[in-house]
Amino acid sequence: MRPDRKLLVVDDNFDYAETLAIQLVQRGCPAVAAGSVRQALDLLDDDPDIGVVVSDVRMPGVDGLDFRRVLTHRFPKLPVVFMTGMPVDKDDLVPSHVIILQKPFSIDALIAALAQLD
């Protein structure tokens, strides 16, 4: 992953998102955390340096897949990596070529997934 791309980690468990963001920062990847889709959109509006989103799939209100559809409309070039603690099944409308990491995953697995975006 290019070091100039700031990551936005989105999870309804803010502690998890913040911990993941801290781990990324410790690995030299600039990152910030959001505890909801609304907060994530506010951060995206305010910070043009955010270049990648790492989002949970299962969140209350707007789930990660719906969030990606909003991002595709508002920020068409912004890549997204998904993470989930629950299986994604055939009823989920998952776009082709998306990366989904199954929780728990290592920080190395996330960094490898992010490297696939370059």
The values of phi and psi at residue 93, to 5°, are -90, 85
| Domain presence at residue 26 | yes
Tokens of 102: 């199954």
Helix (H, G, I), strand (E, B) or coil at 8: strand
| Domain presence at residue 30 | yes
**30 — pLDDT class (breaks 50, 70, 90):** very high
Segments forming the whole domain that contains residue 40: 6-115
Residue 101's CATH number: 3.40.50.2300
The answer to whether residues 99 and 82 touch, using CB atoms and an 8 Å cutoff, is yes
Q: What is the tens place of the pLDDT at every residue in 77-110?
A: 999 999 988 776 666 666 667 888 999 999 999 9
Q: How many domains does the chain have?
A: 1
Mean pLDDT of the chain: 89
Which residues lie closer than 8 Å to 41 by C-beta, 6 or more apart? 70, 74
| Domain presence at residue 111 | yes
HSE, CB side, 13 Å, CA atoms: give it for residue 61. Answer: 8
HSE, CB side, 13 Å, CA atoms: give it for residue 13. Answer: 11
What pLDDT is recorded for position 97?
A: 77
